[in-house]
Amino acid sequence: MTVTETTGRPYQHYVYAYPHKTAYRKLPGNPPLADLWAGESRQALSLYAHIPFCEVRCGFCNLFTRIGAPDGLTGRYLDALERQAIAVREALGDAEPPRFANAAFGGGTPTYLEAAELERLCDIAERHLGADLRAIPLSVEASPATATADRLAVLAERGTTRLSLGVQSFVEEEARAAVRPQRRSAVEAALSRIRDTDIPVLNIDLIYGIDGQTAASWRLSLDAALAWRPEEIYLYPLYVRPLTGLGRHADPAVADRDWDEARLRRYREGRDHLLAHGYEQVSMRMFRRADAPPQGPDDYACQTDGMIGLGCGARSYTSTLHYSFDYAVDMGQIRRIIDDYTATEDFGRAVHGRTVDEDEARRRHLLQSLLQSRGMPVADYRRRFGSEPYGDFPAELERLAARGWLADANVSAGAGILRLSVEGLAHSDAIGPGFFSPAVRAAMAGYELK
């Protein structure tokens, strides 16, 4: 089935969290964190710390990050993050001491911090929140330039179980086209240093759809990654978003079907190549080596309810409210938000967020499950919500079945697992947005880009 034989385009929206952050709004009254967490379980929390600094901003990046840090800014940022951690711990109270099931440091580039600052970041998580980083899965993102021996030694000693390296391409011309200037020799040196540590899981990120990329150059990057036998490989389609480096030179009104077809070809080539080399597909993006050590009961899944986010680019999730600080893509706006964050003394209240009612919770549960290759056990959905997915989302699921994007359309009887077909997984970025609620769609459409 080609793109032109489907309705809609295959690359619409990468769904890694729902509701999307552009649906958040300023919360009336800035509710106290103690009230938000009052009825929440503390027995399997996730911790995410956001470090919004990079040595360079890639042309495709729309993440909350700034280039560089003036003298003292990283220290002031960690000061604020420590104040926030103290406020969160106070809000959680002592009736049920918090227990963390996993942790992640993301960004930005966490390894932009110096080795001593990474030590401090770990200390904040352990001393103020009680997260035992050596006893739980801990994932950290890094770039080739910042994956230095001293930083890696700190991360390994403090319990890091997964190191994700943003390579994107081993072809230098493609890296330049994506506005990510790097030499392959520097990437290989970083990978060698990582493999010299005791960090058990290495993930390599690659991007397909870069201008000038061919089947041959894509295979070159795949094989270069496979040479390091990474436990995980993520394959990302290139998106060109507004206000990014590439987005400033793109015409958003142009619907490039040829580019869609090219990205689908690269995706299928990459998928088939990794499957042939002993990797299992976990989602449209994630591939895990069959003999890789597990990362815990839910593997690397920090987008669940009960997530505590530290840092001005982090989100926190309770069962009924998702909240964060302000969000932006424009560099000037990001600098302003970071400055506001570092000047904040009272972190005891939520600022921006969105209520998650039962309808949104159903959509969130379905999206988190259906977009994984293992699918969604219908019994789990029924147990949580007391209803059937086909009863709650008949039109959406029937459309997927009609396109051949469900592995078993007979699951409507209420048994078994609701799972995407092979072609359905390929179109995950078109399937996900189809389950957004009208209210979330309206809020996203009304978001003012900044």
Which range among 30-39, 54-63, 284-293, 345-354 shows the weakest confidence by mean pLDDT? 54-63
Give the whole-angstrom CA distance, residue 46 versus residue 110. 17
One DSSP character per residue, 212-235 reads: T--HHHHHHHHHHHHTT--SEEEE
If pLDDT is split at 50, 70 and 90, which confidence band does 177 have? confident
Instruction: Report how far residue 224's alpha carbon sits from residue 53's, in angstroms, rounded to the nearest whole number.
Output: 28
pLDDT at position 55 is 76
Nearest residue to 33 via CA among 83, 81, 89, 80: 89
For 391, other C-beta atoms within 10 Å of its C-beta total 12
pLDDT band at residue 244 under the 50/70/90 scheme: very low
Q: Which fold has domain 19-289?
A: TIM Barrel (3.20.20)
Task: Please give the angle made by the CA atoms of 260, 242 and 369, to the nearest 5 degrees.
Answer: 60
Q: Which of 4-13, 43-52, 141-150, 327-336 has the lowest mean pLDDT?
A: 4-13
22 pLDDT higher than 50: yes
137 pLDDT more than 50:
yes
Stretch 176-204: mean pLDDT, rounded? 91
Question: Is the confidence at residue 344, as pLDDT, over 80?
Answer: yes
Residue 295: its pLDDT value, please? 64
pLDDT (tens digit per residue) in 255-270: 578 888 999 999 999 9
**Structural contact between residues 69 and 114, judged by C-beta atoms closer than 8 angstroms:** no
pLDDT digits (tens, 9 = 90+) for 290-333: 999 876 544 434 357 899 999 998 999 999 999 999 877 777 88
User: Is 381 exposed, middle or buried (CB count within 10 Å of its CB: 0-12, 13-18, 19+)?
Assistant: buried
Cα→Cα distances 263→208, 236, 257, 272, 282, Å:
6, 10, 10, 14, 19
Higher-scoring residue by pLDDT: 157, 251 = 157
pLDDT higher than threshold 70 for residue 59? no
Mean pLDDT of 200-220: 95
Reported as a single tens digit per residue, the pLDDT across 388-397 is 999 999 999 9
More confidently predicted of 254 and 313: 313
pLDDT, position 412: 47
Q: How far apart are CA 334 and CA 207, in angstroms?
A: 25
CATH class of the domain whose range is 358-445: mainly alpha
Note the pLDDT of residue 301. Answer: 41
Task: Return mean pLDDT, the chain.
Answer: 88
**What was the pLDDT predicted at 299?**
41
- Let me know: does 88 contact 40? Beta carbons within 8 Å: no
Closest by alpha carbon to 371, among 263, 281, 269? 281
Query: What average pLDDT score do residues 172-195 get?
Result: 90
pLDDT score, position 302: 38
Q: What is the mean pLDDT of residues 174-183?
A: 81
The predicted structure's pLDDT at residue 333: 84
**Taking the domains of the chain in order of start, what are their residue ranges?**
19-289, 358-445
Q: Is the dihedral of CA 147, 219, 210, 313 positive or negative?
A: negative
The yes-or-no verdict on residue 239 having pLDDT over 90 is no
Instruction: Kindly tell me if the per-residue pLDDT of 410 is higher than 60.
Output: no
Q: At 361, is the pLDDT very low, low, confident or very high (cuts 50, 70, 90)? A: very high
Is the pLDDT higher at 304 or at 186? 186
If you compute the radius of gyration of the chain from its CA atoms, what whole number of angstroms results? 21
Cβ–Cβ contacts within 10 Å for residue 148, how many?
Answer: 15
**Interatomic CA distance for residues 79 and 60, integer angstroms:** 30
HEC string of 335-363 equals HHHHHHHHHCCCCCECCEEEECCHHHHHH
Cβ–Cβ < 8 Å for 255, 9: yes
